[in-house]
Structure 1
Amino acid sequence: MSRFLPFLMLSLLSQAAAAPAKADSGDTAWMLVSAALVLLMTPGLAFFYGGLTRARSVLNTMMMSLVCVGLIGVLWMLAGYSFAFGPGNAWFGDFSFLGLNGLQGQLTGTVPTYIFAAFQAMFAIIAVALISGAVVERMRFGAFVLFGGLWSLLIYSPLAHWVWSANGWLFKDQALDFAGGTVIHISAGVSALVAARVLGPRLGFPRHAHVPHNVPLVLLGAGLLHFGWMGFNAGSALAAGETATLAFLTTLIAPAAAMLTWLLWESGRDGHPTAVGAATGLVVGLVAITPACAYVSPWAAMLIGILGATASYWTVQFKHRLNTDDSLDVFACHGVAGIVGALLTGLLAWTTGSGKEVGEQFVTQLVSVVAALVYAGVGTFVLLKLVSLVMPLRVSERQELAGIDLSAHREQGYSESELGLGAPVFLGGD
């Protein structure tokens, strides 16, 4: 009997392969919830960024995040998903899924491909929104919308293809990025730095301090981001199983360690732990654990949170040496923490038996980091120069001094009395 066992197993496997795949209702339900959680992150980011800016520009800052829900939601359906997850080649998807054509009745793992496409749309949305934090209070709203659309299609989608598509060259090289450390945070971080450099600093930078106008908004935004991030990371398992539970647990541990680390650094350096510091440390920990969340053990997640927060904290302290006005420290908090997380994934994936041998995996991670930095950085520079040929990138000095809310949207986040102003003066459209 034993000599026929291989043939019996082959027969059973062939029958299983021939049987039509079925969606798992539990996994599908989890993915529906996860997609909704990730969608909440973009309004959460709007609150987080909005609280960090001046009162006169709070609506414009929040709108730069909110508009991405509409803009990228449409572009992802039209072409972004196809560019990212179409079969294509090692570098780019193709046009086979334009308009999400051909997804009906298809499965990705054990869930309908429709919900996979929706889940990935939420990632594409927040990736563009993250960049806005570096250019708030001075970039024209229309210019940001045009740039954001081009960046999503020509920078984000190809990067997602490289890392997450079965045909992508980094996927084939076994680069580990479970939920977007390289695809989202490194690319958005370096793009934010380049955008801030191209636009130039805010008026008065660095002589005049630009302090947060509403710290409670910052805390609200950080809380919403943490809540949604559970779906961001654990949902990337595409199933309600052990992988998702590990990602969920590490997404709790790393930001907790990062918050405490940030507060310790603040207390040691300035003598006062701040609410903004606690919120920032939390977000930095979330960023750092994102690429590693399902590949490392709980104790390794704590280490990633500590090191990610330390690297980001000191980058913020010495950011003046970059001579670039990255308004809300997007590069320090997302780019640097993303780089640390991606590299530590290579060093610590052994704690769960994931990936290649440690040295080889680290080299693979390093290659993926450099590829994302170069492609997103150069691509952002080119796109901004192209947009500048169509319209000015910056608002006028007069509009910047008065705040962009009225000139861009004819609305204010606060009344004139709360702003300490007289009657509102409209300073021209965007």
Structure 2
Amino acid sequence: MPPRGLLIALLSLTTLSPAFAEDDPAPVFNVGFAKRDITPAKPMPMWGYGARHALLGDGALDTLYAKALVIHAGPAKLALVGLDLGRGPTRAMTDRIRAEIAARAGIEHVLMVGSHTHHGPCIELLDRPGYGKGTFDDAVAYNRQLPELLIAAILEADKNARPARLAIASKDVPFNRNRQTKREPKTTDPMLAVMRFDDAAGQPIAILVNFAAHPVMTDGATLKFSADFPGYLQQKVEADLATNCLFLQGAAGDLSPNSPEGIRGPQAFGELLAQHVVELAKGAETKVPAKPSVKGKVDRYLFPSRIDFTNPVVTAGYSVAFFPELIQCFVLEMDQGVTAESNTILLNGEIGLVGGSGEFFSSHSRRLKERSHVGPTLFFGYCNDHNMYFPTIEAIAEGGYGADPPVSPAAIGAGEAILNRALINLYELSGTIHPEAPRVK
């Protein structure tokens, strides 16, 4: 077993695009889009509220989608996937998807981001007795099929890729609020960011939206699946701009929606955000990147846990709060400590994309953006797995939901360690920090 330090970095994988010779042809910048319906066809446990326990979601208020955008930039490829799910795919799903899209399409980088809707399906249950099999067989079957649907969407998007242009724009909006702290002023991350992709003729391919707020506007007592406000946001953008839209959630660990006067419910709130997205997209002028490239790093971690998941009294308490099969799956992942993954991408040498596998607090994202000078930088939570909350150190000191050990078991400082590593990665990938320079582990 590895030593119990603040942070044990288990894996750091680096993939860099090779340098171009002067006589090489101009590197390509192609983009493709595809989607799949991932709405459960049969009743299964819902994700998001412990008070539901094992009550089954039956039917849907609206369609859940997996939407894939694949970027060919120079010789490398990047897949960005927006999911109408409560979390990113499990570690096992992520590993399988990575292997398949690399082998079949040469896609080296993938960020799969759950919107964090609390009306999505429970995707953790396994094909093992006591872990889902025999009790929730429809859920087990859904979870077996889900990676296939995501792989299919990514591969189709890859095939659809065509010469493209890109623009990125952002603005601060007052539509989220800090639900955890009582300290004033209450920190938020107000940035609403848009990446607009057009084809070479200026026709729209897709709009990517990044914003941070918990999708909890649908009544929790409603046992039907829904994408919540991100679904209505995407629908409105697609209708107004005659394009595709995918939503990638931000650092929403401590952020709830902040509805202005007269705006109530997920549809009204989603359409309000969509109006600002449309405004940003219309004002953004796309162009072919001067130096198309993708450089990326994946870091995996094992943190000590603030909760003893080997204690049967502890696991019994979790089983009562949620339901036994789900907790069995959860404890299986915690047998050595709290795992985590972060992904750092530098796109075209000037856009930073960082994904973290859990619910990061808004200060994490805000500080990353303030400290990153490689260009516009976006943060995606719930990305490539889900390892519970990653509050800031000061939030842990204050306490409250999202900061206390039962839902944020990772060792104090885990979130800061992950985001610091991502910041170093951005500077390494941009060539401003040498990758072999000594650094704190």
Same fold (TM over 0.5): no
Q: Which protein is bigger by CA-based radius of gyration?
A: 1
Greater percentage in strand = 2
- Of structures 1 and 2, the one with the larger relative CO (CA 8 A, separation 6+) is 1
Q: Normalising to structure 1: TM-score of the pair?
A: 0.28
